[in-house]
Amino acid sequence: MLNEKTFGIEEDQSILQASLAAGIPHFHVCGGRAKCSTCRVIVHEGGENLSRRTKAEMKLKKRMNFDANIRLACQVKVLKGNVKVQRIIKDETDLNIYIYGDDSNAMQGIGDERELALFFLDIRNFTPFIEKHLPFDVIHIIRRLMMLFSNVINKNNGKLIEYAGDGLYAAFGFEKEIDEAVKSAVKAGKEIFNELKKLNENYISKYFEEDIKIGIGLHAGKVIIGDKGIEGSSLTVMGFAVNIAARLETATKELNNSFVISDSAYSYLNDADAEKKQILLKGVSDPFVVRLIGEKYLPANSKY
């Protein structure tokens, strides 16, 4: 390993396995399954002595657009002779996060791939409410709303991942199959609408002369879950499916419907009644099919 250590490598042993055996703290967040790029190395000498890329390594190479001298240490083996390589990720901050100290268990807490139902909720047109009311009242209402949302989500076996201003992001399916996860997420969404209606009628409209509305976007897909490794923050869920769910929540305005679910997630509900639409989503090349399972914000032909 360039500028670090020279070590031998056994037959049929990957560079990652050999470097770990030699006591080198070599990142492999996904567990050496070619699901991430943290173990990659730069090959300085002896590239001709290395094994050919596996299908998994080739797939990641194309996705990440690696140069020819970048290899995944978890996949590549030394067939003969000597090889000189250099780890790419070895910053001291990274070492503190993944190798030393209290956060060393983060190595085991990142890289778990699962299929989840991703649930995004946002309060509609909350800025006018903030401008109109006293700061204390705004915080008070936000707390009431978030407590309502989180209670319903938790009751339906969902987990809150993140609060962001006047919205939140949750996931379902940590202990259920994906079909049940989607059903739980839809059930939670509908309960939230019902509970919000009661809160509006009995409290917010009565005392603040406002009618709070929300938008929910729901999608299902494969994501990576794990521990953020940051004090005061725990679970993180990331992946392209998460971005889709967030885009669907944003699309509730465009579609004038309070609850938008992807057609693929909707298929788990065994229901064919909801209106189907094709829309364009940022970051998605092809038209995306969704179902509208909420209510209209405004009458037809009205401008949102």
Q: What is the pLDDT of residues 249-299, one digit of tens each?
A: 999 999 999 999 999 999 999 887 899 999 999 888 889 999 999 999 876
**CATH class of domain segment(s) 15-104:** alpha beta
Q: What is the pLDDT of residues 160-171, one digit of tens each?
A: 999 887 899 999
pTM above 0.75, yes or no: no
Higher pLDDT, 107 or 212: 212
Percentage of the chain with pLDDT > 70? 87
pLDDT at 230: 44
Q: What is the pLDDT at residue 92?
A: 47
| Placement of tokens 């649930």 in the chain | 119
Mean pLDDT of 230-252: 83
Query: Does residue 186 carry a pLDDT above 90?
Result: yes
Which is higher by pLDDT, 250 or 27? 250
Looking at the predicted structure, is the pLDDT value of residue 226 above 90?
Answer: no
pLDDT at residue number 104 = 40
In this prediction, residue 232 has a pLDDT band, given cuts at 50, 70 and 90, of very low
The domain locations on the chain are: 15-104, 112-292
Span 171-186, mean pLDDT? Answer: 95
Please compute, for residue 239, the number of CA atoms within 13 A of its CA located in the half-sphere on the CB side: 22
Burial of 275 (0-12, 13-18, 19+ CB in 10 A): exposed
What CATH fold (topology level) applies to the domain 112-292?
Alpha-Beta Plaits (3.30.70)
More reliable by pLDDT, 218 or 108:
218
Question: What is the pLDDT at residue 113?
Answer: 80
pLDDT band at 303, cuts 50/70/90?
low
Assign 295 to helix, strand or coil: coil
52-94 confidence digits (pLDDT tens): 999 999 998 888 888 889 999 999 999 999 999 988 776 545 5
Which has the closest alpha carbon to 219: 74, 91, 118?
Answer: 118
Mean per-residue pLDDT over the chain, rounded: 86
Task: Report which of 94, 90, 88, 116 is spatially closest to residue 107, judged by C-alpha positions.
Answer: 94
Q: Which residue has the tokens 């509730």?
A: 252
Tokens 């405004």, residue located? 298
Is residue 219 over pLDDT 70? yes
The pLDDT of residue 212 is above 70: yes
> For residue 24, with 0-12 CB atoms within 10 Å meaning exposed, 13-18 middle and 19 or more buried, which class applies?
middle
Strand boundaries in the chain, DSSP class E: 40-45, 70-72, 84-87, 110-124, 158-164, 167-172, 213-230, 233-238, 259-262, 275-279, 288-292
Confidence check: pLDDT of 213 > 50: yes
Confidence at residue 166, expressed as pLDDT on a 0 to 100 scale = 87
Please report, rounded to a whole number, the percentage of residues in the chain having pLDDT higher than 90: 58
What does the pLDDT average to over 114-137? 91
